[in-house]
Structure 1
Amino acid sequence: MLIQNQNKELLLKKMKDKMNKILNYFKKVFSKIRIGKANTEILDDITVEYYDKKINLYHIASIELTNSNTILIKPWEPNILPLIEKSILKSKIGLVTIPNGNLIQIVIPNLTEERRKELIRINKLKLEQAKIRLRNIRKEYNQTIKFKLIDKDILNKSKKHINEVTREYICLIENIFNKKNKEIRNL
């Protein structure tokens, strides 16, 4: 009985770890959605080809918000300004750079109503994908415990617990989704 409880706890921990990865990925994806307000997180994945190496933008420049819709990038070496511009334009995040002396400005335009609707539609697709991934994890662990646990009571309690944890993660993801869509509608 003790071995079965240890197996159950280990399986549940592994399941929660997988679900946390999905939740964190979902948070990261939603934090990068441009909604008319400047957010330095949209530049997190920008790398610059510098001395034959790909270097994260944060390692070669300071990045700051000057107001609610403007990001300012100050390279530590002025000669890399064109490389930074090129990397931002190649990144396909839809930002337009404005060179201004030894720095780059990025102005985030306000959203049109059409773009708001498109963002909400895309967000719904991302939400459904995350829910499907969570449900697949639930299915995987429900099948796994059938083979690992012999005691029917522990098996039933484990299934119930797996369903509760899955519902909890789905609620967390839905809350992130609702918060982002509220931001999109209110801008």
Structure 2
Amino acid sequence: MSDDTPSILKDAESKMAKSVEVTKEEFTAIRTGRASAAMFQGINVEYYGAPTPLNQLASLQFPEARTVIVTPYDKSAMSGVESALRDSDLGVNPTNNGDTLRVVLPALTEERRKDYVKLARTKAEDGRVSVRGSRGNAKKAIEKLVKDKEIGEDEGSRAEKELESLTKKHIELIDEALGLKETELETV
């Protein structure tokens, strides 16, 4: 960390913003009624002994809302792609026609929607924890500056108030994204 309050606050804000972005990215991976490329982001395929992201090994096409056509670039990777899809948390069983894999996503049941809402809330809480962690690190740095007499107590308390408002703003952004995702999940 640096040694003046504006740069400490700027650093904390950028880390908090990154936490919000990561949380939003994790929300996109949670399945809703439609298939999307984001759902396949976290799937890795064992390819020549190395875990390789699915999107580097195959193209994805979405001919219908719940149907995905996965076409591996290298046909020798077909079985690895198939097993990675089957083992993923998408709950799918791909159909292999030799050249492509057809993945039909099951309709979301009420129970599955509730599970996804819980998952979204967990990811949101992880994001909030990360934002609070950034706040804690910045607060320690500000307190150290006050203790070492590099800044006055007034400036330290002003910086801490600003830090609290930054924290509140970023937590509200996560809560807003969570609200949108919950609405999306609960819409049939």
**Is the TM value for this pair above 0.5?**
yes
Q: How many pairs align?
A: 183
The corresponding residue for 1:181 is 182
Q: CA deviation at 1:98?
A: 1.6
Once the two structures are overlaid, the 10-residue window that deviates more, 16-25 or 36-45, is 16-25
- Selected match of 2:27 from 14, 17, 30: 30
Residues in 1 aligned to 2:58 and 2:42: alpha-carbon distance in whole angstroms: 14
Q: 1:49 to 1:126 in 2, by over 3 A?
A: closer
Answering whether residue 105 of structure 2 is matched by residue 108 of structure 1, we say yes
Runs of 4+ in 1 over 6 A off after TM superposition: none
In structure 2, what is the equivalent of residue 17 of structure 1?
14
1:45–1:125 Cα change, 3 Å: closer
Cα displacement (A) at 1:135: 2.3
Q: Distance in 2 between matches of 1:136 and 1:53?
A: 33
| Greater CA drift, 159-168 or 8-17 | 8-17
Contact 1:62-1:75 at 8 Å conserved across structures: yes
Deviation at 1:142, TM superposition (A): 1.9
**Shift of residue 17, structure 1, vs aligned partner:** 2.7
**Distance of aligned partners of 1:168 and 1:101 in 2 relative to their CA distance in 1, 3 Å threshold:** same
Q: Secondary structure at the match of 1:178?
A: helix
Matched, 1:172 2:169: no
TM-score w.r.t. the length of structure 1 is: 0.87
Shift of 1:186: 0.8
Structure 1 stretch displaced more, 134-143 or 110-119: 134-143
Partner of 1:121: 118
Unaligned runs of 5+ in 1: none
Structure 1 residues 12 and 63, CA gap change in structure 2 (3 angstroms): same
Conserved 8 A contact 1:70-1:108: yes
- RMSD of the TM alignment (CA)? 2.0
**Secondary structure, aligned partner of 1:184:** helix
* TM-score normalised by the chain length of structure 2: 0.86
Whether the 8 Å contact between 1:60 and 1:75 is mirrored in structure 2 is yes
C-alpha displacement at 1:48, in angstroms? 2.2
Q: Which sections of structure 2, spanning at least 5 residues, go unmatched?
A: none
- Quote the sequence identity (%): 27
- Over 3 Å counting, the alpha-carbon distance change for 1:111 and 1:76 in structure 2 is same
Distance 2:76 2:130 in 1: 45
Which residue number corresponds to residue 147 of structure 1?
144
Quote the offset at 1:19 in angstroms: 1.3
Question: Are residues 124 and 45 of structure 1, via their aligned partners in 2, closer, same or farther at CA, if it must alter by over 3 Å?
Answer: closer
CA contact (8 A) 1:36 1:109 kept: no
Question: How far apart, in 1, do the equivalents of 2:45 and 2:112 lie?
Answer: 29
In structure 2, C-alpha distance between the alignment counterparts of 1:136 and 1:83, rounded to whole Å:
38
